[in-house]
Structure 1
């Protein structure tokens, strides 16, 4: 059995790999993926490049891992948002947008990490690309499913409309920020879309 290292003991400080990972997530989100290099990550994490490359094969692989963690956390929040409204797709849709609008009121908010990454990562072969694509496809699928459950006849169109509204309004968080973001109007716009595509009383088909 290998000897347990000091930083693996109960109550010890985070391991070097964990420090690098958490530091990178914060720096990528606040400063941008391209603006942050391996040296900056290692320095901020209190380590060095040698330890970085012992922990991660490359910066690109670290980026992909950070994005996967973000996706996992988002779906946990998604489930928590929908759970109080089980069986009521309209209320679940409204809850998603109400949560997004509330988040836009934070002055520290830097927009959607996945959308930000999609803008920065231009190389098609970058490992983060597939993470982003899978996330966006799943988001579309879930919104379309919620739209179908409202009983909307054109639920595919409604679902895509919700996706466009969520994605578009999220992008304004970077330019407007805080309480001035147009995202704060999204819940009202969602209710208007639902009134057109899924009038109250229409049954699920």
Structure 2
């Protein structure tokens, strides 16, 4: 996933600086744990500028989730496209789990932190599009939708396990085994 490096943030317009800072902090520290004052300080804007662009923290959270969804889905589709066969899904997850800043799924984390309807709706939309991207890689057939459901559930389980255990290898081995059994 393409990220904006902290050095690059200073050159961005104020709204983009706020959003880039929120993206980094919300993903790393959490939606609830990241305060407005920290977001303002690290993005280098005034409170007036911040609230002009985002009237509330919830508005910023929604913008962050939309951006995170777009960035992650672009990465995910490209990662799947770079690979062939049944291992494509596990290989894509291996790439993501190996990232220095991997902290699980922003949408699963978000729902766990803030079980508010807007966050849950964003998570459902994200997971539906992830499931669709998986389905697009499957062969046509009567069980395609069911297989996509099972595989997306397996991916979510692997994401949570990799995050909780801090060891992606066990999660990836279980995911690869499940994919093999489902495909076989």
Partner in structure 2 of residue 203 of structure 1: none
Partner in structure 2 of residue 120 of structure 1: 113
Q: Which runs of 5+ in 1 are unaligned?
A: 1-11, 196-205
Partner in structure 2 of residue 95 of structure 1: 88
Aligned residue-pair number? 175
Normalising by structure 2, we get a TM-score of 0.82
1:31: how far off? Answer: 0.5
Report the Cα distance in structure 1 between the residues aligned to 2:182 and 2:148, rounded to whole angstroms: 10
Q: Deviations over 1:49-73 (max 9, x none)?
A: 2221011121111111111111111
Report the Cα distance in structure 1 between the residues aligned to 2:122 and 2:149, rounded to whole angstroms: 20
1:98: how far off? Answer: 0.8
Q: 1:111, 1:171 within 8 Å by CA — same for their partners in 2? A: yes
1:112: how far off? Answer: 1.1
Partner in structure 1 of residue 146 of structure 2: 157
Q: 2:73, 2:130 within 8 Å by CA — same for their partners in 1? A: no
Q: 2:162, 2:168 within 8 Å by CA — same for their partners in 1? A: no
Q: CA RMSD in A?
A: 2.3
Partner in structure 1 of residue 42 of structure 2: 44
Normalising by structure 1, we get a TM-score of 0.74
Report the Cα distance in structure 1 between the residues aligned to 2:13 and 2:99, rounded to whole angstroms: 31
Partner in structure 2 of residue 67 of structure 1: 65
Which is higher, the Rg of structure 1 or of structure 2?
A: 1
Report the Cα distance in structure 1 between the residues aligned to 2:57 and 2:31, rounded to whole angstroms: 10
1:142 paired with 2:133, answer yes
Q: 1:109, 1:173 within 8 Å by CA — same for their partners in 2? A: no
1:180: how far off? Answer: 4.8
1:184: how far off? Answer: 4.4
1:76: how far off? Answer: 1.5
Partner in structure 2 of residue 56 of structure 1: 54
Partner in structure 2 of residue 29 of structure 1: 27
